[in-house]
């Protein structure tokens, strides 16, 4: 949607919100401040506290000065939605880091089943356009640069009034034609490839999930995950400089998405879709499929080590390492041989007669010529490879990872011994995705291990049957 005629000389709403956190799909508005301008003149100031229906983190209370007691008797957003919508209708929506405020308002209206759309001007981007030689463009930097005072910093109306003053100063210090050119360009809305419906920008949700970009004939081009689906998808097309984004902008014909209850579910779904559907522009799909692992013979005989596809091993857990390509496993094994004075010949890395090259260079203890007992060499090799050993399953049985989004939608993903069992909603038992025992999936192993080391916000571990 284009900016209103006259840009800053038209009808403008300077908006600031205070919220319970930084994610529009999950966090809630606790205060709204709006300053309405017409032809550069302030015609109304509006402010209201909002009861978020949830707690306010201590850090947010300290940052804004808004306590839970202050919003306890405040109206919920549903009660002030009409007042806010009426004031914003037909106006240029101006905010500092506008995607934040605009995204939160869209989410709040979406919870009510109401659409919200407006032309948006971000004053961070306007400040950069007007003063490209300056480094800082946060609100404090803008205030200091232009001598703007604020008696209620980090409160919604106080910060909205700062934006109104910044626009007044901008109109005074820069030619009107230059201001209008910047505003028209910056408020032009999301850039989409011409072959996509412009309304798509308003349809993509702003919560976590996975998006799928299709080309001609429905061919799957790319699968990606996102904490904010709208932001991530539109970012591909906003300024396509990378080869990937240029290819997507040129070839995309359709966009679809899968909303998830949280970030872990988005990561999990992305990994499974890429593995099963092999989209043409995902980097992983262009590499060799599957994973490789290093195995050691139990009897210590030659060749002691072998490199095999993971899915060909009788016991995937007995292998060492997870490698995308066979050559990566060979390099890792050769590196350990050099580091630990192991025999490349006994490991199966060399096929020459006599001693190995490492022995000739003084980097092998002589297992290839009888100077080191095969059993001792095999023990040292196993100890050297131990660093590549995959983690033991740290639970006594299956676990679930449960996430719940702002709508109350709940998803639980079940695992056992690093294998994915399935997904269940709030009132379901585990859904089996596989006909038999789920195969070991190296990508999901990495994903789950990473989660156990650093759980994503809003997710928790549960046992089967736990509510």
> How far apart, in whole angstroms, are the C-alpha atoms of residue 55 and residue 165?
33
> How far apart, in whole angstroms, are the C-alpha atoms of residue 442 and residue 250?
33
Q: pLDDT at position 97, please?
A: 86
Quick one: which of 184, 238, 202, 163 has its CA closest to 3?
Answer: 184
Q: For the chain, report the end-to-end CA distance as a whole number of angstroms.
A: 45
- Given the candidates 3.30.420.10, 3.90.580.10, 3.90.1150.10, 3.40.50.300, the CATH classification of the domain at 7-186 is 3.30.420.10
Q: pLDDT at position 83, please?
A: 97
Q: pLDDT at position 399, please?
A: 92
Longest dimension (CA), the chain: 94
| DSSP-derived 3-state class of residue 47 | strand
Asked if the model's pLDDT at residue 311 lies above 80, the reply is: no
Q: pLDDT at position 279, please?
A: 95
**Pairwise pLDDT comparison (249 vs 404), residue with the higher score:** 249
Q: pLDDT at position 444, please?
A: 86
State the pLDDT confidence band at 321, using cuts at 50, 70 and 90.
Answer: confident
Please give the angle made by the CA atoms of 243, 214 and 411, to the nearest 5 degrees.
105
Note the pTM of the prediction, 2 decimals: 0.60
Q: pLDDT at position 293, please?
A: 87
pLDDT digits (tens, 9 = 90+) for 392-438: 889 998 999 999 876 667 889 999 888 888 887 655 554 444 444 56
> How far apart, in whole angstroms, are the C-alpha atoms of residue 246 and residue 256?
19
The region of weakest confidence among 78-92, 226-240, 276-290, 372-386 is 276-290
Q: pLDDT at position 79, please?
A: 98
Percent of the chain with pLDDT over 70: 92
The region of weakest confidence among 81-90, 296-305, 368-377, 420-429 is 420-429
Task: Name the DSSP class of 438.
Answer: P
Percent of the chain with pLDDT over 90: 53
Beta bridge partners of 223: 212
> How far apart, in whole angstroms, are the C-alpha atoms of residue 100 and residue 113?
20
Pick from 39-48, 175-184, 351-360 the range whose average pLDDT is largest: 39-48
Asked if the model's pLDDT at residue 189 lies above 80, the reply is: no
Asked if the model's pLDDT at residue 6 lies above 70, the reply is: no
**Pairwise pLDDT comparison (435 vs 301), residue with the higher score:** 301
Provide CATH 3.40.1440.10 ranges for the chain: 200-286
Asked if the model's pLDDT at residue 4 lies above 50, the reply is: no
Q: pLDDT at position 433, please?
A: 43
Q: pLDDT at position 49, please?
A: 98
Provide CATH 3.30.420.10 ranges for the chain: 7-186
State the pLDDT confidence band at 301, using cuts at 50, 70 and 90.
Answer: confident
**Pairwise pLDDT comparison (188 vs 390), residue with the higher score:** 390
Q: pLDDT at position 314, please?
A: 67
**Across 238-249, average pLDDT:** 89
Helices (H), 67-155: 68-71, 77-88, 98-111, 123-130, 139-146
- Which structure tokens are listed for 281? 């522009």
| DSSP-derived 3-state class of residue 394 | coil
pLDDT digits (tens, 9 = 90+) for 193-208: 989 987 788 778 778 8
> How far apart, in whole angstroms, are the C-alpha atoms of residue 223 and residue 443?
15
Q: pLDDT at position 15, please?
A: 98
> How far apart, in whole angstroms, are the C-alpha atoms of residue 105 and residue 84?
9
**Pairwise pLDDT comparison (410 vs 156), residue with the higher score:** 156
Judged on CB neighbours under 10 Å (0-12, 13-18, 19+), 97 is middle
SS (H, E, C) 325-357: CHHHHHHHHHHHHHHCCCCHHHHCCCCCCCCCH
Q: pLDDT at position 286, please?
A: 45
The third-level CATH classification (topology) of the domain covering 200-286 is GIY-YIG endonuclease (3.40.1440)
**Across 178-192, average pLDDT:** 84
């Amino acid at each position: 949607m284009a900016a209103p005629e006259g840009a800053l000389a038209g009808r403008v709403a300077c908006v600031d919100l205070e919220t319970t956190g930084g994610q529009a799909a999950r966090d809630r508005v606790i205060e709204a401040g709006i300053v309405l301008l017409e032809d550069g003149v302030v015609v109304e100031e509006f402010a209201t506290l909002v009861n978020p229906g949830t707690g306010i983190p201590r850090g947010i209370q300290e940052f804004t000065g808004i306590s839970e007691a202050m919003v306890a008797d405040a109206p919920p957003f549903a009660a002030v939605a009409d007042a806010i919508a009426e004031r914003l209708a037909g106006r240029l929506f101006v905010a500092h880091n506008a995607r934040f405020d605009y995204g939160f308002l869209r989410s709040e209206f979406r919870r009510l089943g109401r659409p919200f759309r407006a032309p948006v001007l971000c004053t961070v981007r306007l400040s950069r356009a007007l003063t490209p030689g300056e480094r800082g463009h946060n609100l404090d930097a803008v205030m200091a640069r232009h001598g703007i005072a604020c008696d209620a910093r980090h409160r919604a109306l106080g910060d909205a009034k700062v934006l109104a003053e910044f626009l007044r100063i901008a109109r005074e210090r820069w030619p009107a034609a230059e201001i209008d050119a910047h505003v028209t360009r910056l408020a032009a809305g999301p850039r989409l490839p011409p072959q996509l419906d412009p309304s798509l920008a308003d349809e993509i949700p702003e919560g976590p999930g996975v998006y799928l970009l299709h080309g001609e004939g429905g061919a799957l081009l790319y699968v990606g995950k996102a904490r904010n689906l709208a932001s991530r998808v539109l970012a591909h097309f906003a300024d396509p400089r990378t080869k990937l984004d240029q290819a997507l902008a040129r070839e995309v014909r359709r966009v679809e998405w899968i909303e998830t209850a949280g970030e872990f579910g988005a990561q999990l779904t992305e990994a499974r879709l890429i593995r099963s559907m092999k989209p043409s522009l995902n980097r992983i799909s262009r590499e060799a499929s599957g994973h490789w692992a290093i195995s050691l013979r139990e009897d210590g005989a030659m060749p002691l080590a072998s490199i095999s596809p993971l899915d060909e091993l009788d016991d995937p857990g007995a292998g060492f390492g997870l490698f995308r390509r066979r050559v990566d496993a060979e390099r890792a094994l050769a590196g350990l041989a050099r580091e630990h004075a192991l025999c490349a010949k006994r490991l199966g890395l060399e096929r020459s007669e006599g001693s190995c090259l490492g022995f000739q260079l003084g980097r092998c203890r002589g297992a290839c010529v009888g100077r080191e007992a095969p059993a001792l060499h095999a023990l040292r090799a196993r100890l050297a490879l131990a660093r590549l050993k995959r983690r033991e399953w740290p639970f006594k049985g299956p676990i679930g990872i449960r996430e719940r989004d702002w709508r109350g939608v709940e998803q639980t993903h079940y695992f056992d011994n690093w294998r994915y069992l399935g997904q269940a909603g709030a009132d379901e038992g585990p859904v089996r995705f596989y006909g038999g025992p789920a195969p070991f999936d190296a990508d999901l192993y990495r994903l789950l291990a990473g989660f156990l080391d650093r759980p994503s916000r809003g997710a928790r571990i549960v046992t089967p049957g736990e509510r």
